[in-house]
Chain A
């Protein structure tokens, strides 16, 4: 276990940035999101949840795939360069680290997504334990320990010190790069902090939400439930929940005509939108109730069916905070729990 003074974090970030691109929570125009670090960045480690999850670092909201240009009467296709330099994402919370594990199962299984795989290969995750979890958090439900996140390096803020514990080879390599700034530390203080965090989590209203009835079988048992019809009504069909979610992984591929050529890019899609999975024959989900049901069954039934029962919700609670109509996965889980169906 190593540590560094909170007041020296600026030096630490500068040191990390010497050899790596660095992304971390930055406050800009009043909101905190993961962004590239520079000397002037207003780094914000106190905000529990960034508006968008850090999944952008591995799966950006939009990214170029290739471009087509005309060259001497022929069409020239240039593929987008894959990530080939190391980068560090600092300050990812336990739930969001699990979110990346959820994405891994989608993008790293056959056929492997090369863009994503390149970023995962070169990305180093420095996770950050949650000092003060909030009401909207329910990560415990999915077996996530906010006091002991996964990651290449795990960090804790205890008092005025940041504790630093390298867990993987990548993490040790990064630690070696910044070793001169870190000092040996006593793990006992971290253990005490962890106890504190876990005791708060016990008290959170949704920490003991029951997932009974969810999982692969729910696709059959809950698909036709009349509850969906009641639940979806306030849904505005906006994409807020899907775009702030650390595990939503659907994307759309589009062409952009630049006037001189074509740029093919992909961008996040949202199952809340009417043109989601639009095909030549039309759309297979024609009502908002169906779209709404799709999102929650994907998290709680279809994904577990394909991934040994692992849920693709991590309990970060961003949808709880951000939905304009205050619909969210907790309400869905509770509604079915209440009915006992």
Chain B
């Protein structure tokens, strides 16, 4: 990473296979732009995301982590996202408690038909992370050089 250029955050987006990943596909095929800073990791369901995944993403250099899944009630597996919702609420609250800046983590529900919402969500999330700057508090120093 060069020191002279503007801060380009690394964003990890966990997207569920059935809704949000398809939503990202739709955004792509509809030629809706969202920043290349977003790296998508496909997961079978939003509830597959273990809190460790999120911390590991930060550890290895992510500046922001977003989880996208089906809208509550529309989970492919009926209830997976309801569990994910509770877990993420508690995890985000814990990160806030430890002094990690608010807003580095986010959950959005994006359906397969919401290519526009996917693109808008990513644009606004990247904007938010740019304003927060690089992640220092949750990173591993060994990954920085």
Contacts and interface: CB of A to CB of B under 8 A. Distances in A.
Nearest to B141: A258
Interface string B129-144: 0000000000010110
B48 interface: no
Contacts, number: 12
Contacts of A256: 142
Contacts of B142: 256, 258, 263
A260 interface: yes
Contacts of A258: 60, 140, 142-143, 145
Interface residues of A, number: 5
A256 B143 CA distance: 9
A73 interface: no
A52 to B, nearest CB: 21
A168 to B, nearest CB: 37
Q: DSSP majority for the A interface?
A: loop
A226 interface: no
A263 B145 CA distance: 11
Size range of the interface on B?
under 10
B23 interface: no
A259 interface: yes
B61 interface: yes
Interface in B97-145: 140, 142-143, 145
Interface string A260-304: 100100000000000000000000000000000000000000000
Nearest to A69: B145
Contacts of B61: 259
Contacts of A260: 143, 145
Nearest to B61: A259
Contacts of B140: 258
A259 B142 CA distance: 9
B64 to A, nearest CB: 17
A260 B140 CA distance: 13
A73 to B, nearest CB: 20
Nearest to A263: B142
A123 to B, nearest CB: 25
Nearest to B144: A258
Interface string A291-330: 0000000000000000000000000000000000000000
Interface in B67-115: none
Interface in A225-263: 256, 258-260, 263
B93 to A, nearest CB: 24
B60 to A, nearest CB: 5
Interface centre among B60, B61, B143 (most CB of A within 10 A): B143
A259 B60 CA distance: 7
12 contacts: A256-B142, A258-B60, A258-B140, A258-B142, A258-B143, A258-B145, A259-B60, A259-B61, A259-B143, A260-B143, A260-B145, A263-B142
Q: Which 6 A-B pairs have the closest CB atoms?
A: A258-B143, A258-B142, A259-B60, A263-B142, A259-B143, A256-B142
Given A256-B142, A258-B60, A258-B140, 7 more contacts: A258-B145, A259-B60, A259-B61, A259-B143, A260-B143, A260-B145, A263-B142
